[in-house]
Amino acid sequence: MKRFLFWLVGVAGLVLAQCAWSAEKPVLLVFGDSLSAGYGLPAAQAWPVHLGKILDGQGKNIQVINASVSGETTAGGLTRFPQALKQHKPGWVVIELGPNDGLRGLPLDKAKANLVAMVKQARAAGAKVHLIGMQLPPNFGPDYTKRFAGMYGEIAKEQKTGLTPFLLAPAINHADWFQADQLHPTAQAQPAIAAMVAKDLAPLL
């Protein structure tokens, strides 16, 4: 009976220790739009989920939380960002926003200001920041598309953040890796996107 009680106490202690370890697991927050939310896919197939698996496979004790919302603009993201920081207390923040600003032809100086504000808020909360850029279809005109794509590099250089220049780079040459709208990647593309982001994130981790 005594042996059983000692065993039971030992098991309970181990479970409590594991729970405490899980609760203290540092957070990497992915904060983006439909491209990161996994639009048109089950949530478990979005690239941030694959990123978490990659980090687990590398032995990194990091919990990836995907707080992305389809249709989000930089203005909308800036509005909900403080609450996300307060709720999740991330050690790292990956910001993937701006495509919806671009597709709506919104002023790029405002989009840039919103992204910079989020970078500064994340830093103030103690998080390291990685920025993910995008490119627009050519029908938006050469000047606007060039300034849009260059915006992310400018912010990364000015604010000294990590940078992935183009989220869809692994998929862009695979027509079958896009859904019918030709904008959102399929489930097949997600692991490749996650692998690229994981590689770019490595210096911050």
pLDDT digits (tens, 9 = 90+) for 101-112: 999 999 999 999
Instruction: Of 18-27, 38-47, 52-61, 108-117, give the lowest mean pLDDT range.
Output: 18-27
Q: What is the pLDDT of residues 3-33, one digit of tens each?
A: 444 443 443 443 334 444 445 899 999 999 9
- Concerning whether 184 is annotated as a catalytic residue, the answer is yes
Residue among 34, 36, 88, 130 flagged as catalytic: 34
Determine how β-strand 128-132 pairs with β-strand 63-66: unpaired
22 a catalytic residue: no
Determine which one of 36, 143, 181, 200 is catalytic.
Answer: 181
Active-site option among 50, 88, 130, 184: 184
Task: Give the integer Cα–Cα distance in Å for 42 and 141.
Answer: 34
User: Is 143 among the residues known to form the active site?
Assistant: no
CB burial string 91-125: b at 16+ within 10 A, e below: bbbbbbbbbbbbeeebebeebbebbbebbebbeeb
Tell me what the pLDDT averaged over the chain comes to. Answer: 91
Give the span between the Cα atoms of 166 and 51, in whole angstroms. Answer: 16
pLDDT score recorded for residue 23? 54
Which of these, 80, 81, 120, 89, lies nearest to 27 by C-alpha position?
A: 89
Read off φ and ψ for residue 132, nearest 5 degrees: -115, 125
Asked if residues 5 and 60 have their Cβ atoms less than 8 Å apart, the reply is no
By residue count, the chain amounts to 205
Domains of the chain (ranges; CATH) run 23-201 (3.40.50.1110)
- Tokens 């309970």 belong to residue: 12
> Any long-range contacts for 146-150 (C-beta under 8 Å, 24+ apart)?
147/108, 148/98, 148/102, 148/108
Residue 24 has a pLDDT of 80
